[in-house]
């Protein structure tokens, strides 16, 4: 009799535990492996807007014949959601970059880095998201004309690279709170809107000398000479506001505005607060052809009213049988005398899907600079990608 009571108690308690778990959607584990062989040439060591050798063991250079690259950032993630009631859903996403080309004994600190990490509450009224997340600048702006996996972002880096902290280069943003209504990916929603606040970003060494170098995880600033530590005293360190309107699921027009807020005790150039404006659009001419345009301007806030801008146009093609392509052209200019300008940035890829999860591709990018030496840089990559 005692045994029967114990079994009954276990069954009841197990049911009570399983009931709320069953109401929660099972976490989805996903990932991507992307590896390629890359060749890079640079006529005058001037190709600062093509980041060659991303996530390679030791980068890449004009002197090297070729290099393996993990530039797409192989990744491992988990995401999920829970319906709290008919009007409210909780969701989350943890995504980590995995360095496949740099073995360091298997230590997690050596091989994993956060790409995305956020929690959100949403409903028909929109979604509030807190944590590391995609920037509205990429979703509403760059997606018009820049969709290659690794290369093809030279003109985008040329402008977005003038921003600071995690805003620089315009992909993902750390320490952010956002509200978004609808989606800007494709033409899925008639209207989409986003406002994102960067929170507490910004620290530097006043008086230090830094230099930008290529690391296995991308471009990074390294300290050449140390100075006095300073932190940005602004709680809200940036704001992004973006909107998109779509006509008949075929034409979308969009705009993005980004503003930094910097207040360092040392003052001077550290307190410059650059702003960026992006205008663009996409037109699905047919189900197999889309055209895009994108204009970006950065106000450098350097006291001289100097600005830097870029203009890009691109096409996206579906040739059928798993074959697709992307081709774009862009240029860039800067008001400052003697600063390098982009005469022509040409980029694109051709991709063949081997299955629903596996593809091979060829990426090409060339930048011709408008400078005294008519400098240029070219990168080519053959890649294999598998998602799960």
Using alpha carbons, select from 346, 355, 340 the residue that is nearest to residue 387.
355
Residue with tokens 């998201």: 129
**What confidence category does residue 23 fall into, taking pLDDT thresholds of 50, 70 and 90?**
low
Mean pLDDT of the chain: 88
% pLDDT > 90, the chain: 70
Q: Please, which pLDDT band fits residue 15 given cuts at 50, 70 and 90?
A: very low
Is a pLDDT exceeding 50 seen at residue 359?
yes
pLDDT above 60: residue 335: yes
pLDDT at 104: 66
Tell me what pLDDT residue 373 has: 82
d(CA 225, CA 211): 10
Residue 129: in which H helix or E strand, if any?
strand 126-134
124-138 pLDDT tens trace: 999 999 999 999 999
DSSP bridge partners of 95: 77, 116
pLDDT at 229 over 90: no
pLDDT in tens, 268-299: 778 899 999 999 999 999 999 999 999 999 99
223 or 302, higher pLDDT: 302
Taking 70 as the threshold, does the pLDDT of residue 215 lie above it? Answer: no
Comparing 5-19, 149-163, 175-189, 190-204, the range with the smallest average pLDDT is 5-19
CA–CA distance, 47 with 41 (Å, rounded to integer): 9
Confidence band of 123 (pLDDT split at 50, 70, 90): very high
Q: Residue 307 pLDDT more than 60?
A: yes
Lowest mean pLDDT among 106-110, 151-155, 201-205: 106-110
Alpha-helix residue ranges (DSSP H) falling in the chain: 2-23, 108-111, 136, 154-160
Q: How confident is the model at residue 8 (pLDDT cuts 50, 70, 90)?
A: very low
Is the pLDDT at 4 greater than 70? The verdict is no
Q: Please answer whether residues 100 and 73 qualify as being in contact, where contact means their C-beta atoms are separated by less than 8 angstroms.
A: no
Whether the CB-CB separation of 146 and 328 falls below 8 Å is answered with yes
pLDDT band at residue 227 under the 50/70/90 scheme: low
Q: Are 150 and 160 contacting, i.e. CB atoms less than 8 angstroms apart?
A: no
Average the pLDDT over 109-126 and give the result.
Answer: 88
Instruction: Please say if the pLDDT value at position 109 is more than 80.
Output: no
pLDDT at 114 over 60: yes
How far, in whole angstroms, is CA 306 from its chain's centroid?
26
Structural domains present in the chain: 27-387 (2.40.160.10)
Q: What is the pLDDT of residue 3?
A: 41
Which position has the token pair 């404006």? Answer: 277
Average pLDDT over residues 52-56: 85
189 — phi, psi (to 5°)?
Answer: -120, 145
pTM for this predicted structure: 0.86
Residues written for the chain: 388
């Amino acid at each position: 009799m005692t045994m029967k009571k114990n079994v009954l108690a276990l069954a009841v308690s197990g049911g009570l535990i399983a009931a709320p778990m069953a109401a929660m959607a099972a976490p989805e584990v996903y990932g991507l492996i992307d590896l390629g062989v890359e060749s890079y040439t640079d006529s005058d060591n001037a190709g600062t807007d093509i980041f060659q050798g991303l996530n390679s063991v030791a980068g890449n250079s004009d002197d090297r014949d070729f290099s393996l690259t993990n530039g797409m950032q192989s990744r491992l993630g988990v995401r999920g959601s829970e319906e709290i009631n008919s009007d409210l859903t909780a969701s989350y996403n943890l995504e980590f970059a995995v360095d496949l080309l740099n073995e360091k004994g298997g230590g997690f600190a050596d091989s994993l880095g956060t790409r995305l990490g956020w929690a959100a509450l949403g409903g028909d009224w929109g979604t509030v998201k807190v944590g590391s997340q995609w920037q509205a600048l990429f979703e509403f702006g760059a997606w018009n004309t820049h969709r290659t996996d690794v290369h093809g972002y030279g003109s985008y880096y040329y402008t977005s690279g003038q921003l600071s902290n995690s805003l620089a280069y315009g992909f993902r943003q750390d320490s952010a709170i956002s509200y978004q209504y609808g989606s800007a990916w494709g033409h899925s929603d008639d209207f989409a809107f986003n406002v994102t606040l960067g929170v507490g970003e910004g620290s530097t060494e006043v008086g230090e000398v830094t230099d930008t170098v290529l690391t296995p995880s991308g471009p990074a600033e390294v300290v050449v000479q140390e100075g006095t530590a300073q932190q940005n005293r602004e709680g809200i360190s940036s704001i992004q506001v973006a909107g998109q309107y779509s006509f008949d699921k075929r034409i979308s027009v969009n705009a993005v505005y980004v503003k930094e807020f910097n207040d360092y005790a040392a003052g001077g150039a550290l307190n410059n607060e650059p702003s960026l404006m992006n205008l663009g659009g996409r037109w699905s001419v047919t189900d197999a052809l889309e055209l895009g345009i994108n204009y970006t301007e950065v106000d450098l806030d350097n006291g001289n009213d100097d600005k830097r801008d870029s203009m890009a146009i691109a096409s996206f093609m579906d040739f059928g049988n798993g074959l697709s392509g992307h081709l774009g052209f862009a240029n860039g200019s800067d008001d400052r005398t003697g600063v390098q300008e982009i005469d022509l940035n040409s980029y694109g890829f051709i991709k063949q899907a081997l299955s629903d999860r596996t593809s091979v591709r060829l990426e090409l990018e060339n930048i011709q600079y408008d400078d005294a030496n008519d400098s240029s840089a070219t990168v080519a990559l053959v890649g294999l990608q598998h998602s799960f």
